[in-house]
A = this chain, B = another copy of it.
Amino acid sequence: MEEKKTVDRRVRKTKRAIRHAFAKLLSQKDINDITIRDIADLADINRKTFYSYYSGIHQVVDEIENEVVLAFESVLGDIDLKRDLKNPHSIFERLTAIINTDLEFYGHLLSMHGNVSLVSKIVTMLINKSKEALLSQIEMDDKIADIVLGYAITGMIAVYQQWFNSDRLQSIEEISETISIMFFHGFSGVLEQQKNYRKTHGSEELR
């Protein structure tokens, strides 16, 4: 945000070396096994120098995460409620696309396997963006909008995350459709849809 660009080339070089080393180590072992000495050795800097920029490993992670979220935000573009909430998968699709291309370097950090802080940062960003979009189109109470979007966005991301980390039991269409119905028409909408499905396909296909 208020990132006054570094003037000194040494600083840029050092920070680049630290982050590069960290990323490389992350691809080799678990984050909890990475020591500051590891980073300093690989980056070929003095261990002390590390401390002049970061208080610990977690700060490096935090910095990279913030940049990732910024990258997401800029690439994601504006949220189109009509399109995105009727097909929530499109949001998720765009997010993963960014991960898989531009930022594949940080794949290990981003793979969403247990990286809670990054996910919550993304959720916050999505809530803010969609709140903006929502209030510009629909007249509704600000506090209610917070509740609605906090509920829907968090729930949506949680479902995709669960799906991501599981054996992908459901099809992506099933997920996308169910979330969409849940958002617009709630549980009664899902029941309705299930009833129609049973009519069309016969009940033996269900449970």
Q: What CA separation (Å) do A169 and B170 show in the bound complex?
A: 37
Q: A1 at interface (Cβ–Cβ under 8 A)? A: no
Q: Is the CB of B170 within 8 A of A147?
A: yes
Q: Is the CB of A191 within 8 A of B138?
A: yes
* Chain A 126-160 interface mask (CB, 8 Å, partner B; 1/0): 00000000010011111110111011101110110
Q: Is the CB of B140 within 8 A of A150?
A: no
When C-beta atoms are compared, the residue in chain B nearest to A147 turns out to be B178
- The residues of B that contact A170 with a CB separation of less than 8 Å are 143-144, 146-147
Q: Is the CB of A158 within 8 A of B154?
A: yes
Q: A106 at interface (Cβ–Cβ under 8 A)? A: no
How many copies of this chain are found per oligomer? 2
Q: What CA separation (Å) do A155 and B123 show in the bound complex?
A: 11
Q: Which residues A176-207 have CB closer than 8 A to chain B?
A: 178-179, 181-191, 194, 197, 203, 206-207
Q: What CA separation (Å) do A190 and B182 show in the bound complex?
A: 13
Q: A174 at interface (Cβ–Cβ under 8 A)? A: yes
Q: Is the CB of B151 within 8 A of A158?
A: yes
- The residues of B that contact A179 with a CB separation of less than 8 Å are 147, 151
When C-beta atoms are compared, the residue in chain B nearest to A156 turns out to be B151
Q: A116 at interface (Cβ–Cβ under 8 A)? A: yes
Q: A175 at interface (Cβ–Cβ under 8 A)? A: yes
Q: Is the CB of B194 within 8 A of A174?
A: no
A residues neighboring B (CB under 8 Å): 85, 116-117, 120, 123, 135, 138-144, 146-148, 150-152, 154-156, 158-159, 162, 169-170, 174-175, 178-179, 181-191, 194, 197, 203, 206-207
Residue contacts A-B, CB under 8 angstroms, 25 given: A139-B194, A140-B206, A140-B207, A141-B194, A141-B206, A142-B207, A143-B170, A144-B170, A144-B174, A144-B194, A147-B182, A150-B162, A151-B155, A151-B159, A151-B182, A152-B187, A154-B159, A155-B155, A155-B158, A181-B186, A182-B186, A184-B187, A185-B186, A185-B188, A185-B189
